Amino acid sequence: MSTRPLPATKAPTMADVARLASVSVPTVSRVLNGNVNVSQSKRERVLDAVKELNFRPSFAARALASARPEAVAVVSGNTSQYGYAETLRGIENTCRREGLSTIISVIDSDEPAEVDRVVSQVLSQPIVGVIVLKFDPPGVAVLDRLVDKLPVVAVSGLRDTRVSQAMLDETRAAEELTGYLLDLGHATVHHVRVPPSRREDGRTTGWRRALRRAGKEVPETLDATWEPASGRAVGRRLAGDAGVTAVFCGNDEIAMGVVRGLNDAGRRVPEDVSVVGFDDHPLSELWAPSLTTVRQDFHGLGSRAVQLLGAEIEDTDNVGRLSNERPAVVVRDSAAPPQQG
C-alpha cells in the first residue's frame, strides 16, 4: 500500500482513501456503509487508509455510502457576469473538493414557462440538493418553486427565512461607500442601479439609507441594464447636469460605462465627477482612473453555500441558517472632493 503523503492543505476525500488502499471508490463506500460484500483484506486496507489519512466522511461521502445521489444542482441567471461566474466557481470548486459533482441550470427569465422548464429539469436529476443564485428575478422565481421540495440553499439577495442562505451584506457596504463620497464633500450622490432581484436590492437600499441619515437630497435612481453600454448612455445623460458631482453605480462594468459616457461629453473623472462601482471586477483596478469600489468575495460566497447545504443534508434542523459577510470598500482613484466654485 502506497504511503505517499497528501498535501497538508488538502482535506482527504473518499477518492484519496480509495487510491491509498488500492481499491475503487464504491468499495470504500461499501466499507463505510458496513456492507458485508467486501473481502477482509480490502476492508482492512480501507480502514487502515482511513486511519492514516485521518479521513472524516463529508456529507458527500455519506451520501455516496448510503447509495444516495452525489450531485448538487445549481440554478443561475446571467453566467457571463463577474459575480455570477465567480460564485459558480466557488460552488464547483468546493463541491469537487467534497467529492460532489455539479449540474448547472441557466435560467434566462422569470417567465412562467422558463421557470417551469428549469424546475422540471432540476427535479428530474438524481441530486442531493439545490443551490439557487438569488441575484435576479429569475432566481427568486425558481427558489419560490423549489422551497419544501428538497434541500435548498439561496445565495445572496434579500434574506429569505424559508431556506438557509449565504449572503453578502451589500446594504451596509453601499451605506459605507455612499458615506465615503459624502465625507469627501459631495452635496449628494446619484445612483445608477443594475436590474434588482425584487423591487429594490441592498445596494440601492444602502445608498438611500446613507443619504437620508445624512439629511441629503435623495435623487431619482437611474436604471441601467447588465450591459456596460447602457452605463455609457447614462453617463452622457448625467454629463448635461452640472449639479451631478458624484455617482454610485450598481456594479463596476456599469461604472466603466458611465465614466466613458462622461468623458464622451467632456467631463473628467474624478476632477468633475466622482464615479464609484461595486464588486471589484478584475478590470476595475486597471481602468483609467482605477475604480473605487466594493470588494465582494463571490468565490467564498459559493463555498459557504455548499457548506450550508451540507449541514442541511446532514441535519434537517439546520434549515434556515444564515451565513453573512460584509464586503470591504476599496478606495482608488475615481473619487475625489468636488471642485470649489
Query: How big is the chain, counted in residues?
Result: 341
CB atoms within 10 A of CB 121: 14
Spatial contact of 274 and 245, defined as CB atoms under 8 Å apart:
yes
Instruction: Write down the pLDDT at residue 170.
Output: 94
C-alpha span between 159 and 212 (Å, rounded): 23
Task: Tell me how far the alpha carbon of residue 249 is from its chain's centroid.
Answer: 18
Please name the residue ranges forming H helices in the chain.
14-21, 25-32, 40-53, 59-65, 82-97, 112-123, 137-146, 170-183, 202-213, 228-239, 252-264, 298-314
Task: Tell me how far the alpha carbon of residue 58 is from its chain's centroid.
Answer: 23
Query: Is the bond leading into 270 cis (omega within 30 degrees of zero)?
Result: yes
Instruction: Dig out the grid coordinates for 69 from the structure.
Output: 445521489
Instruction: Write down the pLDDT at residue 272.
Output: 97
Burial of 153 (0-12, 13-18, 19+ CB in 10 A): buried
Alpha carbon distances (Å) from 92 to 49, 62, 88, 282: 26, 19, 6, 20
Q: What is the DSSP letter of 316?
A: G
Spatial contact of 162 and 132, defined as CB atoms under 8 Å apart:
no
Spatial contact of 70 and 101, defined as CB atoms under 8 Å apart:
yes
- The answer to whether the predicted template modeling score (pTM) of the entire model surpasses 0.85 is no
Instruction: Write down the pLDDT at residue 2.
Output: 41
Instruction: Write down the pLDDT at residue 57.
Output: 64
C-alpha span between 333 and 255 (Å, rounded): 13
Instruction: Write down the pLDDT at residue 290.
Output: 98
Task: Tell me how far the alpha carbon of residue 183 is from its chain's centroid.
Answer: 30
Instruction: Dig out the grid coordinates for 154 from the structure.
Output: 439561496
Q: What is the DSSP letter of 318?
A: G
Alpha carbon distances (Å) from 295 to 75, 177, 258, 329: 24, 11, 19, 6
Per-residue pLDDT of the chain (341 residues; tens, 9 = 90+): 444 444 444 567 777 888 899 987 667 766 776 655 678 888 889 889 988 888 876 555 555 455 455 789 999 998 888 999 999 999 999 998 888 889 999 998 999 999 999 998 888 888 889 999 999 899 999 999 998 878 899 998 888 889 999 999 999 999 999 999 999 999 999 999 998 888 889 999 999 999 999 999 999 999 999 999 999 999 999 999 999 999 999 999 999 999 999 999 999 999 999 999 999 999 999 999 999 999 999 999 999 999 999 888 777 667 789 999 999 999 999 999 999 76
Spatial contact of 154 and 164, defined as CB atoms under 8 Å apart:
yes
In the chain, the N- to C-terminal Cα span, in Å, equals: 79
Spatial contact of 58 and 65, defined as CB atoms under 8 Å apart:
no
Per the rule left: phi > 0, alpha: psi between -120 and 50, beta: everything else, 67 is: left
